[in-house]
Chain A
């Protein structure tokens, strides 16, 4: 899998994550009003985090040895 499709997918997810976790994207969610009773940035960061972990799990667990 080293040079295979999974590696490229992981790199793509890495780049996406690096963007999603940084300025300017996170500034979009930095509101002062609650969403569903919670701070929007808190919701955003944890939700995106969980989704990305799921995505990575999908990529590596589906690759045969």
Chain B
């Protein structure tokens, strides 16, 4: 036993720590250093999913159903795998249109309907308030277990006087916390840094505490998992818990239904919506949460079954309530400090849920139940109350207090009733009713307001009839005959076997019928008429949220407005200073100097409506904005036209972009082609002038000599002979030049004729050297030839290759020094290539001349000692080698000679 004062002191000390954490986070946020802007805190805040029902109740469920506690955590694991598609879309929609609750989300999607928002709020209140009561009850039971004298005897909670009940004070402290950190001031974004930090902190505490007790039971009391399981296997009663089918009557269908239920809950529970969607700082944080949150769930569940088995082995069945095993096991082993820690863990699970759920529910109550009434009454809507910020805050805070106190009241009244004990899954089934209208709203344009209303209503009624009323009957608040005989004694209407459906457990049964009715009415009624303009525009904004930019909403409004009116409106709900700040920022964004200069256009109206929606809900914001502007309602056709127009404009602009991009590419291609043409033109001019120059030199000498002989008949026969010799050689040179130019032109144009034969390269090289031997002899140069052992053969045009070799050899002969000239010719068989090197020991080629060696009419050496040649030999040679798929290159070190080489593929021509 732990003294009551100590438990109370620890509890309130823990709550104080929570206040401190939240306060610190708020302070840091004000300084611009957010402590929650990271994926870890985000994930931990999502763990508010694990309530006291998880913390204490999972062990209880495991004690009676073995692994049947697990679907509640497998479902969220599955749901998170789809979060990057579904949840991300919800976050984007909520951020773009300042949506702060599930009720607002649904109301906004179906044409900003007050009625729909109100209905969702009612469902939430009915389904969730008992759940809050269950958390308070868990705290109360934990307190009782810690402070009672003997852990061995299970006693129901002693309901003392209200004022002496510490749970009441815990509840009040939670309400205070929620008011301080959830509704301190009005903010259009409705984000609460301090609250989220506290929730993340609580998630750490509950995980550590649960792991501590799990490790203590598994490894402290028993000897690890194996020991506990082997003892359980030895016990015929516990043995049943270890297999799947023997412990539950629900069967695999029930298992599936629970997984589905948990999947929907983790997306649509108001508290999950609050932490996952509304409090999300950065969409990228969701990415890590996709796996981190399931990992948290896995960790917190790993010891559940061992604790349940350990408790059953220790206490036996029926002695101690299995829900309290986490506390009573440490207590009965004298570990009071551990028990206190576990209690704090349970406290954190319960308070976290109460805080977040209360913020979410109170925002709904304020925006979707109270504000519509307030704004309709003449007292508040007119000019009499220019500033409504105080009223708005008071409603928020009042709603928080009422929600917490209603929870407490329900807990006091219901006590041990079945209706409270079983509320966990029942409340899950209630929020599952939001799934069709939410998912349908995000992915289907056809859903209408009447459809959504009918679907929700049908689902809610069937849920109440098949789950809530039976739970009342089982608690003794209704005639149990209702369960046995059905309503009005009609067996057909038995609430847990509706329409004679048997074989399902009550949760699967209710889930099946309620979702069936829900979807049927939602789709059926929606399809009865086309959406109105308002519905269609909202549908488009939601479904296409990723495709349309922020300005899309503004295109769907037509009318006139005055900036002053709008400014006054925002001031009424957000305060004067805040309104000025918002308008100022908006003016800067629009690039307008002062607020007064802004045009009262659709963009501004949209901006104002979005800001107001954050504070008072989208439906109320619509009504308020409509009251100060002159607007024309748009019909469906007009909305469709605008959307078509918008999408056409988008399509056009995309097309234009593509075209201009194509044009740019084409332009640059043309520019390149033009450059190339210019270059070619320049080359052609060069060639022309080179050719004419080359032609003129021999022509000049031929003409000069001929004229001399013509004019002077006195010339001696020797001179005449000499002149004629020169004329003949110059004519030869001219012929050669013209032939080569023609040849090159033919090769380049691809008109050359090729006569391929089998060539023995060794013989060819030898032949070429023999043909040039006179040249080398004239220059007094030596020629050395290296041939491979095996003569390489290839299929090519013999005469052409001969021409190449002659070119290289005569080139070498031209450049060798007058004395001691040496030329080396090497033929090599390099496997897939046949290579010929012709190396001389001439002056070599200057580095700056290297790139031009193979260009036409570029001859080595300076003008003075320019050797005789056409300047076309090398270009032609290279063309020939390349024609056979080979390559030709030159290597040279100035002063030490040059080496011209070419290589031909060995299989050329085959």
Contacts and interface: CB of A to CB of B under 8 A. Distances in A.
Given A27-B244, A38-B226, A22 B84 contact: no
Given A2-B546, A53-B291, A60-B288, A10 B82 contact: yes
Interface stretch (B73-81, B204-212, B734-742, B847-855): B73-81
Q: Would you call the interface of chain A mostly helix, strand, loop, or mixed?
A: helix
Contacts of A54: 291
B739 to A, nearest CB: 64
B67 A41 contact: yes
B82 A23 contact: no
B754 interface: no
Nearest to A10: B81
A46 B81 contact: no
A49 to B, nearest CB: 6
Contacts of A17: 77-78, 81
Contacts of B689: none
Contacts, number: 110
A15 B596 CA distance: 56
Interface residues of A, number: 39
B355 interface: no
Contacts of A41: 67, 242-244
A50 B88 CA distance: 24
Interface in A29-65: 30-32, 34, 36-39, 41-42, 45-46, 49-50, 52-54, 56-57, 60-61, 63, 65
B295 A22 contact: no
B761 to A, nearest CB: 56
A10 B298 CA distance: 19
B257 to A, nearest CB: 11
Contacts of A13: 81
Given A27-B244, A60-B288, A14 B252 contact: no
Contact of A65 (B233, B284, B291): B284
Instruction: Please classify how large the interface on chain B is, using the bins under 10, 10 to 19, 20 to 34, 35 or more.
Output: 35 or more
Contacts of B239: 32
B288 A42 contact: no
Contacts of B81: 10-11, 13-14, 17, 56
Contacts of A6: 84
Contacts of A21: 74, 78, 259
Contacts of B77: 17, 49, 52-53
Contacts of A1: 84, 287
Interface in B852-892: none
B318 to A, nearest CB: 23
B430 interface: no
B256 interface: yes
Interface in B233-279: 233, 239, 242-245, 252-253, 255-256, 259
A42 B305 contact: yes
B474 to A, nearest CB: 29
Q: Which of A2, A17, A56 has the largest count of B CB atoms less than 10 A from its CB?
A: A56
A26 interface: yes
Given A31-B243, A34-B229, A2 B85 contact: yes
A18 B75 CA distance: 9
Contacts of A61: 287-288, 291
Nearest to B82: A14
Contacts of B295: 53, 57
A42 B225 CA distance: 11
Contacts of B85: 2, 7, 10-11
A63 B291 CA distance: 14
Given A2-B546, A46-B298, A56-B290, A23 B67 contact: no
A45 B294 CA distance: 13
Contacts of B82: 10-11, 14
B70 interface: yes
A42 B67 contact: yes
A32 B247 CA distance: 12
Contacts of A39: 229, 242-243
Contacts of A49: 74, 77, 294, 298
Given A32-B243, A41-B67, 18 more contacts: A2-B84, A2-B85, A10-B82, A11-B82, A13-B81, A17-B77, A18-B259, A22-B256, A23-B252, A26-B255, A34-B230, A42-B67, A45-B74, A49-B77, A56-B290, A56-B291, A57-B295, A65-B284
Interface of A: 1-2, 6-7, 10-11, 13-14, 17-18, 21-24, 26-27, 30-32, 34, 36-39, 41-42, 45-46, 49-50, 52-54, 56-57, 60-61, 63, 65
A-B interface, 7 closest residue pairs, ranked by CB to CB distance from nearest: A23-B252, A37-B226, A57-B291, A14-B81, A39-B242, A30-B244, A56-B291
16 contacts: A6-B84, A10-B82, A14-B81, A21-B74, A26-B255, A30-B244, A37-B230, A38-B225, A38-B229, A39-B242, A39-B243, A45-B70, A49-B294, A53-B298, A56-B81, A60-B287
